[in-house]
Structure 1
Amino acid sequence: MLYFVCAFYNEAKPIINFYKLKRVNENKFFQVFEREDIKLIISGVGKINSAIALSHIVSKYGISDEDIVMNIGICGSKNREIGEAVLVNKIHDVETKKDYYPDILISHQFEEGTLETFSKPVIDFDIEDICDMEGSGFFKASSKFFSPHQVQLIKIVSDHLDGVRLTGEFVENLIEKNILTIDDYINKMKKSFIKKDLLDDWDRKMMEQVSSALNLTENQKIQFNKAYIGYKIRESKSPEFVKNILNVRVQGKNESKREFKKLISKLYE
């Protein structure tokens, strides 16, 4: 299933039109639009509303390892161009000071960026990159049901935090201009979820040998496996360079940590 969560109708309308979604009239709590393999819910503004809407829609239609959950909407930015689409790789909740990290495992056409989520509209405020009012609530709720690589946020810059009032038509045009790029990214994600033959015998053997050679902890093994799989998805080949680790004599935890960090960094290059 492909799930979309949008804060308001003008953000959702281009998605509804592109995927030819139909209104679910019997839903009394939210505006929901659907076709067989896609569900879209309009949450209302704010991180609590976004979290509630996400929980409502996935509880109603179900959860699987191949689901994709997308938060599409506008954002503010001091420095980025109006209309630029940003794939979020870090979310910072300004109120709670907590950070969240979606996993981005595949190549894409977007610029990546850090999203700060506020509880109130932001006007003339010093932010790191982009900001909204839903992101952290959406991601925190999604993380209860899905793995980080299934949950993605794409934000389109709509203003420079100058208090300019945006029209519905303006917002719709911003989303519509990026809809083909969004759809391309979704299709790549779907392909990456096809697990058949992703790892061959050489991969499995090498991952096991590297884990043993570096004496990885369970948490490090999870990080290594994720980085290894991400590399193979992006590059469509095995990272043969990992076998060089087997020639390194690692003595002690500190040396193991250094070699592990170098390996993870190379896998994400």
Structure 2
Amino acid sequence: MPALFFAILSEAKPWIQKTNAKPISHSGKFRIYQKDSMYITITGPGKIPMALAVSEFAHLFGKEERKKMKVWNLGIAGSHIPNTKIGEYFWIHKIKDYNTGKDYYPERILSSKIQKETILTTFDNPIAKIKNENRFQVLTEQELQSISLVDMEGSAFFEAASLYFPLENIAIGKVISDFLEATFCQQETVQTLIENVLDPLYQEWIEPLPWSTDDLFETKFWPELETKISNLRLTETMKHDLKKSLRFFYLRYPNSNIPLPNLETIPNIKSKQDLKLYIQNWKNQLHV
């Protein structure tokens, strides 16, 4: 079952027309469209609406149904990537939340016909590189050096989706709509940008998940790993997040050994900060 999340109607409209999806009747706040086993949700702009919409949608399904669901967030984004053009599409392999400083690592679609990928930075406000009367947040030249694509929902989508759906089922893709000139795109322009990349993405979206949803990881590999790292004394939250990353690697690279950190250095971990750094470095190896 594939599901799509869009911030605004003009992003979603081409997909709604392509699938002939119709609004469903439910008790929630957000607009959800359905055609057979395909779902499209319009969340409204911003991190909070996106996170709430993902949660509301997820609660329409049981845990076993969610395991089999491919979950994507698509939409437009501003670009500060050199030599790019309006309408270019990128898969996102890393998201940085500008306000919290947290990093997230979505699935990289290696089999996609569209091979370009980059980093997305999520802001709480619209972003510009020049002063303007539209009250955009203006970034300095130094801040722009670390920016590729920008949006206002990506980090919230991924953080919320990863609470309900397997990490390996989640993906984010963005179409360049502007170069941070402090202007808003017209609805017709947004629709055209999405339409131009719809056909190849649609075929990939409706394809079944490329891995089995069996529980071999749960019954064999995770219990063995959990024993090896028992001395780390992870909190339940840290253990849950690490387990998702390990399962991601296991399903993505079924013929490879799961990379382990140097377990002999565990006695050198003296503080909570040391532990967080140790786990983060390990997770970085799992999201290659």
TM-score (norm 2): 0.70
Q: What amino acid does structure 2 have at the position aligned with 1:66?
A: K
Describe the SS at the equivalent of 1:143. Answer: helix
**Aligned partners of 1:117, 1:225: CA distance in 2, in Å?**
26
Whether contact under 8 Å (1:105, 1:231) holds in the other structure is no
* 2:78 aligned residue: 76
* 2:168 aligned residue: 149
* 1:43 aligned residue: 43
Whether contact under 8 Å (1:71, 1:153) holds in the other structure is yes
Whether contact under 8 Å (2:167, 2:244) holds in the other structure is no
**Aligned partners of 2:100, 2:12: CA distance in 1, in Å?**
28
Displacement of 1:228: 5.2
Counterpart of 1:93 (choices 94, 97, 106) is 97
Displacement of 1:229: 3.7
Matches within 5 A, 1:257-268: none
C-alpha change, 1:252 and 1:132, in structure 2 (3 Å) is closer
C-alpha change, 1:252 and 1:52, in structure 2 (3 Å) is closer
**Aligned partners of 2:160, 2:244: CA distance in 1, in Å?**
22
**Aligned partners of 1:45, 1:3: CA distance in 2, in Å?**
18
* 1:184 aligned residue: 203
Describe the SS at the equivalent of 2:199. Answer: helix
Q: Decide which moves more: 59-68 or 174-183.
A: 59-68
Displacement of 1:186: 2.1
Identity %: 28
Matched, 1:123 2:141: no
Whether contact under 8 Å (1:90, 1:99) holds in the other structure is yes
Q: What amino acid does structure 2 have at the position aligned with 1:155?
A: K
Counterpart of 1:193 (choices 194, 211, 233) is 211
Q: What amino acid does structure 1 have at the position aligned with 2:42?
A: I
Q: Where do 5+ consecutive residues of structure 2 fail to align?
A: 130-138, 231-238, 266-281
Q: What amino acid does structure 2 have at the position aligned with 1:96?
A: T
Q: What amino acid does structure 2 have at the position aligned with 1:38?
A: M
**Aligned partners of 2:24, 2:247: CA distance in 1, in Å?**
40
Displacement of 1:27: 5.3
**Aligned partners of 1:155, 1:118: CA distance in 2, in Å?**
15
C-alpha change, 1:35 and 1:107, in structure 2 (3 Å) is same
CA deviations over 1:147-192 (Å, ceiling 9, x no partner): 211111111110000023311111001111111221233245x241
Matched, 1:133 2:137: no
Displacement of 1:23: 2.0
**Aligned partners of 2:184, 2:243: CA distance in 1, in Å?**
49
Describe the SS at the equivalent of 1:60. Answer: coil
RMSD: 3.5
TM-score (norm 1): 0.74
Whether contact under 8 Å (1:88, 1:152) holds in the other structure is yes
Whether contact under 8 Å (2:89, 2:176) holds in the other structure is yes
Q: What amino acid does structure 2 have at the position aligned with 1:102?
A: P
Describe the SS at the equivalent of 1:92. Answer: strand
Whether contact under 8 Å (1:122, 1:161) holds in the other structure is yes
Q: Where do 5+ consecutive residues of structure 1 fail to align?
A: 200-204, 233-237, 243-250, 255-260
Q: What amino acid does structure 1 have at the position aligned with 2:6?
A: C
Whether contact under 8 Å (1:102, 1:151) holds in the other structure is yes
Displacement of 1:49: 0.6
Q: What amino acid does structure 2 have at the position aligned with 1:83?
A: G
Matched, 1:111 2:113: no
Q: Decide which moves more: 23-32 or 91-100.
A: 23-32
Displacement of 1:65: 1.1
Describe the SS at the equivalent of 2:67. Answer: coil
* 2:68 aligned residue: 66
C-alpha change, 1:217 and 1:107, in structure 2 (3 Å) is farther
What is the aligned length? Answer: 237
* 2:277 aligned residue: none
